[in-house]
C-alpha cells in the first residue's frame, strides 16, 4: 500500500492565486518529511521538516508538519507561472545511522496560468 499520499493529483490555478498541497504519510520510524519541486528533471529541495507545528518558510512558499495527523501542507501564495511543476513529498524513515531512504508520494502537478 502507499505509504505517502499526496493530494490533489493535479491543480490548475491562475497567477496570483494561493494554493495548498497536501501530503499524508504512514511510516513506522518517521524521521523527517521533505518537499521537492520537480520541473523538467531533478527534484530540487524545498524544505525539510522534522518537528511538528514549526513552519518553514522561503519567500512565497511555506510548509508545516503535523505529526499527530501524520500530514504536511505546502502553501504557495501569489503563484507565478514559474511555480508550475510537480511538487513531491517524501518521508525519511530512520532505520539506521547512515543513508536513510526516502519514500516519495506520487506528486501534485501544479499548473499556473497567466
Report the interface residues with another protein, using CB under 8 A. 32, 34, 36, 41-45, 47-48, 50, 88, 90, 95-96, 98-107
10 Å CB burial of residue 5 (0-12, 13-18, 19+) is middle
The CA distance from 114 to 105, in Å, is 28
When the beta carbons of 51 and 114 are compared against another protein, the nearer one is 51
Closest approach of Cβ 14 to another protein, in Å? Answer: 26
Closest approach of Cβ 21 to another protein, in Å? Answer: 16
Closest approach of Cβ 102 to another protein, in Å? Answer: 6
Q: Are 34 and 92 in contact (CB under 8 A)?
A: yes
The 3-state DSSP composition of the chain as helix, strand, coil percent (nearest 5) reads 5, 60, 40
Q: Are 56 and 47 in contact (CB under 8 A)?
A: yes
The CA distance from 104 to 92, in Å, is 9
When the beta carbons of 22 and 32 are compared against another protein, the nearer one is 32
When the beta carbons of 17 and 31 are compared against another protein, the nearer one is 31
When the beta carbons of 17 and 50 are compared against another protein, the nearer one is 50
Closest approach of Cβ 107 to another protein, in Å? Answer: 7
Amino acid at each position: 500500500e502507499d505509504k505517502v499520499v499526496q493530494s490533489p493529483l493535479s491543480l490548475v490555478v491562475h497567477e496570483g492565486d494561493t494554493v495548498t498541497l497536501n501530503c499524508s504519510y504512514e511510516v513506522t520510524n518517521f524521521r523527517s518529511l521533505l518537499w521537492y519541486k520537480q520541473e523538467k528533471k531533478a527534484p530540487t529541495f524545498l524544505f525539510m521538516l522534522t518537528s511538528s507545528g514549526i513552519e518553514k518558510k522561503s519567500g512565497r512558499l511555506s510548509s508545516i508538519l503535523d505529526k499527530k495527523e501524520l500530514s504536511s501542507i505546502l502553501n504557495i501564495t501569489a503563484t507565478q507561472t514559474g511555480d508550475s511543476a510537480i511538487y513531491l513529498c517524501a518521508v525519511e524513515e530512520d532505520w539506521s545511522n547512515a543513508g536513510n531512504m526516502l519514500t516519495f508520494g506520487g506528486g501534485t502537478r501544479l499548473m499556473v496560468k497567466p
